Amino acid sequence: MRWRRSPSEPRRGRLRIGRWLFATFAAMIAATLVYALYPRPMPQTQAIQIRQPLPDIARLRTVAEFAAIADLDQRSIALFEEAGRVIQHPRCMNCHPRTDRPTQTDAMRPHRPWVSRGPDGAGESALRCSTCHGATNFESSGVPGNPMWMLAPIEMAWQGKTLGEICRQLLDPARSHMSRKELLQHMSEDALVGWAWHPGGGRKPAPGTQAEFGAIIKAWLDTGGKCPA
């Protein structure tokens, strides 16, 4: 091990490298300082961009939009399929169950608490729908309401059926208990049906409006009331 430079070794070359290194360092520090201290504007608050609007799934196509379908039967079926977007919406399906129990929410889970249709569709004698459901939606509790609050009769069950099956059932007076005229009136004017467009409580309404839906049903019946397969 050697601790001392032997007197024969040159020291000038080393000194020059040291000076270079020092200069480079100094330059880098200076550059960093200039960059850090250079005056620049403070970041300003900015409005963030509004979320991309979702595709308008709530819109119902108008009757005029089906005029391009020349074949009347095909047009009729297309009209019913558009109406099906309302018919098969949870706001409508929840009260057309295939059992004695209504369902709830967009997930169409069984109604809580446990309730049953009873003799008249408005609940068992000892637990009526009106125990909780009033004449209007009640925003404080989120409980929906309508003076006619009740289940559709079991013959009008829609859950678990295809749109074609629902269509044929609607046109069968034995099961729908309605003539075509009454059916049109039920769809376009009935206040309980109309609840589906004003469900309150943060619930998603059925697409379109009841009037638009009624117009689609009318056009479907006027084109012969054809049903999807």
Partner 1 sequence: MSYAISVNGQIHHVEDDGQTPLLWVLRDTLKLTGTKYGCGVAQCGACTVHVDGTPTRSCTLPLEVAASARITTIESIEGVEAQAIRDAWVARDVPQCGFCQSGQIMSAVALLRTLKTPTDRDIDVAMSGNICRCATYNRIRAAIHDAAAQLGTAR
Contact positions toward partner 1, by CB under 8 A? 112-116, 124-128, 130-132, 134-135, 138-143
- DSSP state at residue 100: S
CA distance 155 to 133: 24
Q: Which lies closer to partner 1 via its Cβ, residue 145 or residue 214?
A: 145
For partner 1, the closer CB: 127 or 192: 127
> What's the min distance (Å) between Cβ of 201 and partner 1?
10
For the bound state, the minimum distance from the C-beta of residue 112 to partner 1, rounded and expressed in Å, comes to 6
Q: What is the smallest separation between the CB atom of 128 and partner 1, expressed in angstroms?
A: 7
Nearest distance, CB of residue 72 and partner 1, angstroms: 48
Number of H helices, E strands in the chain: 8, 4
Q: Nearest-CA neighbor of 122 among 134, 110, 130, 132?
A: 130
Nearer to partner 1, 115 or 150 (CB): 115
Residue closer to partner 1 by CB (options 141, 162) is: 141
In the complex, the smallest distance separating the C-beta of residue 91 from partner 1, rounded to whole angstroms, is: 18
Q: Is residue 140 helix, strand or coil?
A: coil
Quick one: which H or E segment has residue 170? helix 163-170
Give the integer Cα–Cα distance in Å for 158 and 144: 21
Question: Please, which residue, 131 or 162, has the CB nearer to partner 1?
Answer: 131
Cis check: omega of the bond before 113, within 30 degrees of 0: yes
* Alpha carbon of residue 191 to chain centroid: 23
